[in-house]
C-alpha cells in the first residue's frame, strides 16, 4: 500500500488511548473521538497486570509508568477475621502495577499527544464505500478506513454492528474509594494487593499514587439494580455496616473514607462476533467482564496492540479480513478471561473453609488461571499474520 490507513477510535478510555498509541507506532493516522467535553477525572485505583504492563513498557512508557505507579508486591490474603491465608504458589513472573485510573489516563493522553476530539458523542456508524462513517450527536460526520469502538460497556458502536450484550446482575455492588495514606498510622507500610475474604463479600486495598493514597474496592451483596458507573455516590456509613466485626484494618480504612462510589456488578456472555466490514470493537465494548481478576483494562490494552500488528501494512481491501483475524485471535482468549474472572469472584466471596482449606483452593484456582499472565499479544498477532500470509 502507498498511503496510510485512517483509523477512527470512538472512546478515549484506557483501551482507546492504548490502541491509538499502538496504531500510530505502526504507521497509521489515528483520530480519537470522545463524548466527554474534557478528559474524565473519575475512577479510583486499578491494577495493570503483567500481560498488559509489558506492552506499555515496550511502547516506551516504562519511565512514565514508574513515575505514577506502585509496583505490586504480590497478594496478601486474609479471612474476614484477619487470619492469614497462605499465598498462592503460582504467582506471575513479571510485575503488575497499581495505578490511579485518572493518572493512567493522563499518562496515556500525554504520551499520545495526537488528536482527541472531545465533545464528540458518536450516535451512528454506517458503511460507506471501502470504509465507514461516524455520525456525532451535533451532526458532524467523519469517514475512516477503519472504525474502532472503544466506547465501553454501553457501546454505541457495538449496537451499530448489530450486537447486544445482555447483562445479568451478579447480585453484588462494588464500593470504591480512596483514603489519604497519612490518615492511617499503619498504612505507610502497606504494600501490594491486600484482600480479606468471606461471608459473601470481599474487601481489597492497595496503595496508588506512589503510596500517597490507598485504593479500596469492597464487594458486598445487593438485591438492588445499580448503575455501572464511576460517578454514583455511595454511603460510607452503609459500607461500614457491611463490614462490622471484620478485621480492624478493614474497619479503620472505611472509617477514614470521606466519600465512596458504587458500581453495580453485571456479567455478560462473550459476544458472537466483534467485527463487521471495516468496523470492530475493543475493551469493555467487546468483552465486558466482572472485575474480580483485575483484567478488564489489561485485556483492553492487549486488544489495541494486537490490532496494530494485524493492521500494519494492510491494504484497504484487506481490512475486513484483518479485522476478522483480530476477532479470531482475541475472542477466544478474552472469553476465557471473562470466565476466569467470574470464578474468581465466586471464590473470593465464599465463606467456606478454614485458612488452610482456602489456601488450597486458592492455589488450585491460581494455577488454573496462570496461563493469563505470560502471554504476549503482539507475538501472537504476528504469528497469526505469518500463518495466513
Ligand X SMILES: Cc1cc2nc3c(=O)[nH]c(=O)nc-3n(C[C@H](O)[C@H](O)[C@H](O)COP(=O)(O)OP(=O)(O)OC[C@H]3O[C@@H](n4cnc5c(N)ncnc54)[C@H](O)[C@@H]3O)c2cc1C
Q: Where are the beta strands (DSSP E) in 4-59?
A: 6-10, 29-33, 45-48
Name the nearest CA neighbour of 247 among 85, 99, 361.
85
Nearer CB in complex with ligand X: 271/385: 271
Nearer CB in complex with ligand X: 152/270: 152
- Which bin fits 207, alpha (ψ -120 to 50), beta or left (φ > 0)? beta
Q: What is the smallest separation between the CB atom of 185 and ligand X, expressed in angstroms? A: 27
131 DSSP β-pair partners: 128
Which of the ranges 81-89, 237-245, 293-301, 319-327 carries the binding residues for ligand X, by CB under 6 A? 293-301
Nearer CB in complex with ligand X: 96/358: 96
Give the 3-state secondary structure of residue 7. strand
232 binds ligand X per the rule CB under 6 A: no
Q: What is the smallest separation between the CB atom of 232 and ligand X, expressed in angstroms? A: 11
| x/- letters, 102..141, toward ligand X (CB under 6 A) | ------------------xxx-------------------
Please identify which residue in 5, 7, 11, 201 interacts with ligand X, judged by CB under 6 A: 11
Q: Which of residues 321-350 bind ligand X (CB under 6 A)?
A: none
User: What Rg value do the Cα atoms of the chain yield, rounded?
Assistant: 21
Q: Which of residues 249-268 bind ligand X (CB under 6 A)?
A: 263
The C-alpha cell of 303 is what?
Answer: 486488544
Residue 246 host element (H or E):
none
Please identify which residue in 217, 239, 366, 369 interacts with ligand X, judged by CB under 6 A: 217
Name the nearest CA neighbour of 299 among 329, 259, 257, 255.
329
Q: How many residues bind ligand X (CB under 6 A)?
A: 34
Nearer CB in complex with ligand X: 297/385: 297
Angle formed by the axes of helices 319-349 and 355-368, nearest 10°: 170
215-243 burial string, b = 16+ CB within 10 Å, else e? bbbbbbebeeebebeeeeebebeebbebb
Nearer CB in complex with ligand X: 53/385: 53
Alpha carbon of 61 to those of 13, 105, 110: distances in Å? 17, 13, 11
Nearer CB in complex with ligand X: 14/65: 14
| x/- letters, 25..54, toward ligand X (CB under 6 A) | --------xxxx---x-----xx-------
Q: What is the smallest separation between the CB atom of 385 and ligand X, expressed in angstroms? A: 24
Q: Which residues bind ligand X (CB under 6 A)?
A: 10-16, 33-36, 40, 46-47, 120-122, 150-152, 156, 174, 176, 217, 263, 283-284, 291, 294-298, 300
Amino acid at each position: 500500500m502507498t498511503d496510510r490507513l485512517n483509523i477512527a477510535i470512538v472512546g478515549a478510555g484506557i483501551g482507546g488511548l492504548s490502541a491509538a498509541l499502538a496504531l500510530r507506532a505502526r504507521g497509521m493516522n489515528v483520530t480519537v473521538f470522545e463524548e466527554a467535553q474534557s478528559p474524565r477525572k473519575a475512577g479510583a485505583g486499578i491494577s495493570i497486570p503483567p500481560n498488559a504492563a509489558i506492552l506499555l513498557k515496550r511502547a516506551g512508557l516504562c519511565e512514565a509508568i514508574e513515575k505514577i505507579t506502585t509496583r505490586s508486591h504480590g497478594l496478601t490474603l486474609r479471612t474476614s477475621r484477619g487470619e492469614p491465608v497462605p499465598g498462592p504458589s503460582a504467582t506471575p513472573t513479571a510485575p503488575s502495577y497499581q495505578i490511579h485510573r485518572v493518572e493512567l489516563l493522563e499518562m496515556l493522553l500525554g504520551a499520545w499527544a495526537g488528536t482527541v476530539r472531545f465533545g464528540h458523542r458518536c450516535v451512528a456508524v454506517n458503511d460507506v464505500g471501502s470504509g465507514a462513517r461516524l455520525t456525532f450527536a451535533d451532526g458532524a460526520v467523519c469517514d475512516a478506513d477503519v472504525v474502532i469502538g472503544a466506547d465501553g460497556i454501553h457501546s454505541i458502536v457495538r449496537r451499530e454492528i448489530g450486537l447486544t450484550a445482555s447483562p445479568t446482575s451478579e447480585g453484588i455492588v462494588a464500593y470504591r474509594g480512596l483514603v489519604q495514606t497519612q490518615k492511617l498510622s499503619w498504612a505507610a507500610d502497606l504494600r501490594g494487593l491486600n484482600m480479606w475474604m468471606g461471608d459473601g463479600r470481599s474487601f481489597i486495598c492497595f496503595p496508588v499514587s506512589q503510596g500517597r493514597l490507598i485504593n479500596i474496592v469492597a464487594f458486598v451483596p445487593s438485591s438492588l439494580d445499580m448503575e455501572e458507573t464511576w460517578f454514583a455516590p455511595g454511603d460510607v456509613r452503609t459500607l461500614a455496616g457491611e463490614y462490622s466485626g471484620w478485621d480492624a484494618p478493614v474497619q479503620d480504612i472505611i472509617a477514614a473514607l470521606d466519600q465512596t462510589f458504587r458500581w453495580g456488578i453485571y456479567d455478560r456472555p462473550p459476544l458472537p462476533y466483534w467485527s463487521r466490514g471495516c468496523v470492530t470493537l475493543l475493551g469493555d465494548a467487546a468483552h465486558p467482564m466482572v472485575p474480580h481478576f483485575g483484567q478488564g483494562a489489561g485485556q483492553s490494552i492487549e486488544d489495541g496492540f494486537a490490532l496494530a500488528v494485524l493492521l500494519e501494512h494492510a491494504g484497504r481491501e484487506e481490512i475486513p479480513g484483518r479485522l476478522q483475524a483480530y476477532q479470531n485471535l482475541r475472542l477466544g482468549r478474552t472469553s476465557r478471561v471473562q470466565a476466569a474472572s467470574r470464578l474468581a469472584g465466586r471464590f473470593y466471596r465464599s465463606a467456606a473453609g478454614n485458612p488452610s482449606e482456602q489456601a488450597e483452593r486458592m492455589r488450585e484456582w491460581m494455577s488454573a488461571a496462570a496461563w493469563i499472565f505470560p502471554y504476549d499479544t503482539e507475538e501472537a498477532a504476528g504469528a497469526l499474520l505469518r500463518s495466513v500470509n
